[in-house]
Structure 1
């Protein structure tokens, strides 16, 4: 007979503070079919198109529900995960799980743009909250789609493996030409600092473009993609060494936008056609989720969808 488990698993982080804990919930395309809510499924939640660079594992993507747990303390994050899994038992089960990390708070004298496992600053071109069109690009406006998604956002998840042995075989100048920015500061190759606007038409003494046509930083710019923009919030991951003796490591790419068809999709299509970085990365998992706006006091996330 199976013995009933008891104990104090909910006291894992008993002596810890909040540690900036956040729990974010999103609904996948398949959720609406399972629950009979097809009429409430947003058009923007249509499955992402296939891209030529995809090498996707169907068992590690999509899903009915997406839960992201973040905290400054890994123990607090695990405690939250453990509590959610216990509460969901009998209703939902884990289909896949990925663990990511970023630079720890206090690791630098002042907050800085995070670096990825290639050593590059990651997120320099993000839209800023001070931008006049920030909310328009990131959040769903009331009336644009089903009412329950008002002030929500769509998140695209991609597990992007970095072929680090190949990347580290390049010299510094070669790496910088692939990205189009200085590795040390994140500044464009045309000069200035991290936030300096690149001079895309600048040429060197030989007449060649300083920032190559296929440089990652050039291709991903909104003004090179009809204004398409998304808010990147990625994490690095390292899942050990594979059977070939190379690191299974890279980026858990997360980007937020008001509409993935006007954010992620056009940019990824452009990257698919000629990004110099594509030779050193491999997209291995993918997902798209609708994240409703925050819950007011006394409400729960998604209440307008489930009870509306």
Structure 2
């Protein structure tokens, strides 16, 4: 009898645990749900603040993660009885398990500048462009940007957006997610805003090394997604694509990756698929010239005043001819780049961060950094000070018919004015860069990326409602 009573007690505890977990996870499918509260409205956050004795999740724990642990805890309680009940109570109570450092990392959506520009590139990225559907006008474009901005703000904060039932990243934190929006040249014609198109959005000039596929370039609206978790990045991609609905149609999409945070003994400059350290001389937010090189000034008047605080993104898919590159000797590879492959130090001497000495000569009397070395041709000193912020993802899309890898770089370059950043540098590279023999530029796009927005606003509002 005692044994039967013990089993009955365990079953009763498990049933109570399952009901508690079910309540934490929300109403059952088909049950009438309460209308979500929009806390972004003025005064709404204070009105809906939880009292001190609330059973709301502890600070730093997102609703997305809590729902995931609640569902798992309920199942565990049903399977393992009293032991599962103890776990469930801890998981859905005030002491949920903390997210790891990668999962908890978050970037604010709102601010003076859009996220995804000055921040380090994440481990997973999606670049995509949409064309407005026939009949979609300025009003429809504004509604789309409002939807997308609201969703991006929720996702970047680790919240479940209204109406999202995908469950793709249910138990994950924001994982440094960023979502960035921009407008292509054709967007302004299709929305009746041609008179507000920035002069800096003129088409890029043709370069002799280009082999561009127009179907994988340009587009009315450009989106950049980055996160340190692949499911979190895909979740954002999927929701934005669904919310485009009948307003915009996908024109092209490219998927990329970088090294995962924590994969090295300490934070290091990324390597590209050629094995070279890539990005050592990138402008840094701490540089005195960073703002003037990267951000459109605030004090602007005229057609492009809405771009204050924004930037211009040049996006290029650059295939690397890896089979040809790998056939070079290590010494030849290093002379093509101008840096040692092992540690990224310039051939003029020092460590990775040692300033490049373009006037240094080797012991045999030859110039230390060859005349066609990539770092010499691309250096600001060789381009009248022109510079840009490179924030790229590697990609690999299988193999071509000849067996060569379809792999390379999803190149994203940020600057206040492409005519003073990307264009002069690429012209110089096009004429005399030794690395160009191992690259193919296969698609290209230029986008005006507005500044950030305040809570309750959406990206592009100054353009679409100005």
For normalisation by structure 1, the TM-score amounts to 0.96
Q: Please state how far the C-alpha of 1:10 moved relative to its aligned partner.
A: 2.5
Larger RCO (CA under 8 A, 6+ residues apart): 1
Q: Which residue of 2 aligns with 1:3?
A: none
Q: Please state how far the C-alpha of 1:246 moved relative to its aligned partner.
A: 0.8
Distance 1:93 1:254 in 2: 22
Q: Give per-residue Cα distances to partners, 1:25-73, cap 9 Å, x unaligned.
A: 0000010011110111000010100000000001000000100111111
Q: Which residue of 1 aligns with 2:248?
A: 92
Q: Please state how far the C-alpha of 1:93 moved relative to its aligned partner.
A: 0.9
Q: Give per-residue Cα distances to partners, 1:67-98, cap 9 Å, x unaligned.
A: 01111111111111111111111000110000
Q: 1:14 aligns with which of 165, 170, 195?
A: 170
Q: Please state how far the C-alpha of 1:131 moved relative to its aligned partner.
A: 1.1
Distance 1:243 1:18 in 2: 39
Is the radius of gyration larger for structure 1 or structure 2?
Answer: 2
How many matched pairs? Answer: 302
Structure 1 residue 253 corresponds to structure 2 residue 411 = yes
Distance 2:268 2:448 in 1: 29
What residue ranges of structure 1 are gaps of 5+ in the alignment?
A: 1-6
Q: Which residue of 1 aligns with 2:327?
A: 169
Structure 1 residue 263 corresponds to structure 2 residue 427 = no
Structure 1 residue 120 corresponds to structure 2 residue 276 = yes
Q: 1:154 aligns with which of 308, 312, 322?
A: 312
Structure 1 segments, 4+ long, off by >3 Å, are none
Q: Which residue of 1 aligns with 2:396?
A: 238
Q: Please state how far the C-alpha of 1:204 moved relative to its aligned partner.
A: 2.1
What residue ranges of structure 2 are gaps of 5+ in the alignment?
A: 1-162
Higher helix share: 2
Q: Please state how far the C-alpha of 1:19 moved relative to its aligned partner.
A: 1.1
Q: Which residue of 1 aligns with 2:30?
A: none
Q: 1:73 aligns with which of 208, 216, 229?
A: 229
Q: Which residue of 2 aligns with 1:108?
A: 264
Distance 2:174 2:164 in 1: 19
Distance 2:353 2:396 in 1: 29
Distance 2:239 2:178 in 1: 14
- Evaluate the alpha carbon distance shift between residue 205 and residue 8 of structure 1 in structure 2; reply closer, same or farther with a 3 A threshold: closer
1:1-308 superposed matches below 5 A: 10-144=166-300, 146-308=304-466
Secondary structure at the residue paired with 1:287? Answer: strand
